[in-house]
Amino acid sequence: MPGTLYIVSTPIGNLKDITIRAIEVLKLSDYILAESSVRSSKLLNEYNLNKRIVTFNKDNEKRKIKSVIEDLSNGLNICLISDAGTPSVSDPGYELTRCIESSVNIVPIPGPSSLTAALSVSKIPINKFIFLGFLSKKQKEREKQLLVIKDTLFPAIVFESKHRIVSLLKDIVDILGEDTQIAVMRELTKLHEEIYHDSASNLLEKFSGHALNGEITMIIGKPISHAVKMNVFDNKIIELSKKHSASEIVNIIRLFNDVNKKELYKYVLKIRQDG
């Protein structure tokens, strides 16, 4: 009979945040797949869990998937944990779970997550939001990701390096506007936890002279839209329609105007049809 793969959430900082169920599952497992044996050992030692640890991270997961699947097929029960939080959420795990056949059970053991921890203390409305994980290190790609927030008009939650927090805030000011509300959460659940809520411009000024350390989770509020009457673009749309498609017209107008892409596209189609 096939075994079970348990996706186990572990503390993101404070070791007391682990669930009773997580401890029980770790205790009964045949071995533990861990992103880092050093960091995971601290957690296991805290709860007297004497278990074999097999490292499983972005550098070796593809090489080890076959042997893990064989063990599961032979009836072993295996726990997958990451350094902190929930596996597969911007952490190793997906490559393994997508390769496992349906005969093997995959069971989530919910618990700590910097994503939900940040959302729970946010002063930014988050009934609907988008999750972008770690933003690109490349400037142009990061700008495109921020434009997704601008176009969807949903707040977004991201993970960011302490080294790029200032450059990200600069991009937010340029693309989403200086009044965009931001929440910066540093070292959630840890000893030096700090939470900041302010406008992008104010936080940019603050952190430009005050370096942040540790792991950072950020919530980017939806851009504060300033109402634009679409009929101001009528003449431009009619003129541009002579040589450009609707999509091209939208891109040209948005180069010089802060207007929602979807709304503008609908309006361009209407003007062209009314022709």
- Enter the pTM of the model: 0.77
Q: Hey, CA dihedral for 174, 178, 180, 186, is it positive or negative?
A: positive
199 band by pLDDT with thresholds 50, 70 and 90: very high
4 band by pLDDT with thresholds 50, 70 and 90: very high
CA distance 23 to 32: 12
User: Per mean pLDDT, which range of 4-8, 40-44, 207-211, 265-269 is the poorest?
Assistant: 207-211
CA distance 255 to 157: 26
pLDDT tens-digit readout, 114-126: 999 999 999 999 9
